[in-house]
Structure 1
Amino acid sequence: MSRLCLGTVNFGGRVSEEDGHRLMDRALEHGLNFLDTADMYGWRVHKGYTEESIGRWFAADPANRDRTVLATKVGNPMTDAPNDSGLSARHIVASCEASLRRLKTDRIDLYQLHHVDRTAPWDEIWQALDLLVSQGKVLYVGSSNFAGWHVSMAQEAAARRHFLGLVSEQCAYSLVSRLVELELIPAAEAYGMAVLPWSPLHGGLLAGVLEKLRDGTAVKSAQGRAVPALKEHFDRIEEYEQLCRDLGEPPARVGLAWVLSRPGVTAPVIGPRSDAQLDDAVAALSLRLPDEVLSRLDALFPGPPAAAPEAWITG
């Protein structure tokens, strides 16, 4: 599996189908074979659109399916119907079948639980996933947006069923958002799980937002989660961008290189909207930040003083 994962949350609405297909082709050319989507992505057009678009890409060149490690997700509402959301056995099985049809494939390599469902017992969740794995429709199961104790509950319930359990956790993780260092990443490491950070540039906040705003070229960083975060962290972002200028490296490349350098991280999920953004992300794979730069970044965007429970004492 490649050290970067091509995320498709922008496919449909922000990235046209033609451009999305070209980005997936280019990712494979770079050796990025890990592709992440979700059943509800493409909601700007209609939920399921992104999986449909990826399915058309596979259909156009069936060899792409075997070249790709395919991940999708289940759990977020697809409609307002009472059984069309969450992690009930019914919804998991029905959603998997629907994703397979949209993606035009016979299997999902990594089927991720998009959010914890506090109303669904773990025995029910694992029963449904065990069925899908035994049928060959799902190869591995992962989680997304879980707390550390949710991971522990899931893994212990899976162990009681002699089931492999979760192999990965996809979580928000960036220089600006480091709370997962407290318990989630230590839990994932303890259970031998991959950590797949999403939004490693915090919605564009760490991608040179101030320069882009001055130039009038800000797109993603001028909306969504980056807007309130910029107000909160303006002085830090200003200093961060100056640090990047001193290094002679683009801010997006530095922010991604930092995430790649973190213990426990397997593959950050990137969401490029252009070839240039994809190429810049790939360049981060070869950027090794010196210890003094890592120290400056830690001072600028401090994380927890330690993992839990030591953090409760030292904090």
Structure 2
Amino acid sequence: MARKSRRELTHVSGGADIPVTVIDVAREAGVSPITVSRALNRPELVSEATRVRVLEVVRQMGYVPNLLAGSLASSKSRLVAILLPTIANSIFAPAVQAIMDRLTEAGYQSLLGPTGYSPEKEEVLLEAILGRRPDGIVLTGTLHTEGSRARLASAGIPVVEAWDLSDTALDMQVGFSHEQVGEQVAEHFVAKGYQRFAVITVDDPRGIRRCNSLIQRLEQHGISEVPVEILPLPATWEVGREGLKRLLQRPEAPQLVFCSSDTVAMGVLAQAAELGLRVPQDIAVLGFGDTTNSRFAQPALSTISVNATVMGREVAEALLRRFAGDSTAMRFDSGFSLVERAST
């Protein structure tokens, strides 16, 4: 009987599989056990050739690292929790993907938790997640319950608030000013000659802040009547459709509708087309988020780009610097830009 190679073994004794160990992987790869550990957990500390060789042996042997044992030994879980309002809205996808890609590259795993735009649900999730001892937490926005603030302060782990900036940071912040978004929209389109504005938004605090800022800046230009339709979450095409129906029931139709997301704006475009309204001649439409579909809409959707990939990358870098011992309370303005296309 031919002798099995090491990589063919799991191996069997007394009817039970014996798990492959880090020592088995190291022997097969021709490196030390600590090099295997570094290749899996701190890939930046080993050469690319070594990392590739170790990962290939891990794959062939079916090695499963004991993450619990590793975290107990090092007091590190190598886990980062990312809490975001929803996984159904693509507006958050580029930022989250950028965070996860950079953390994965550095040997960290990500855990996603949807909060449903609710600070109270965020608090419940934090209570469960903190029990897993994550190395860091990413929160969406700066609106949190007092219970969440107390838990995070007690946990003493790095926290990054993304998608927003405020004067009451929990720890680190990477985002942009929603108030400045509203102000820029007002200034840009008043300069183009628009006088009748309207807003369709879901019941999201950040979207409502952009709306309020828009209204305040328009008032400075003598425009005091700005109809606002606030519809229940989640943000869908149907929200945009329903919002436009309501706006068109008013005595005078708006010249421009500012929507809380590209998804809502796509619904407005669909409803306008169904009613035979020309965009932008009869009604102009502005979205928010610059999602992939916005540029392929008919007509192409004008929107606010929030530099989501830059934001996500900076969130990850902020955490990694903190993990490396940098105690700076970083605040990074990732900015935004108005992307004008055919819909305005």
Give the alignment's TM-score, normalised by structure 1: 0.31
Give the alignment's TM-score, normalised by structure 2: 0.29
Asked which structure has the greater CA Rg, the reply is 2
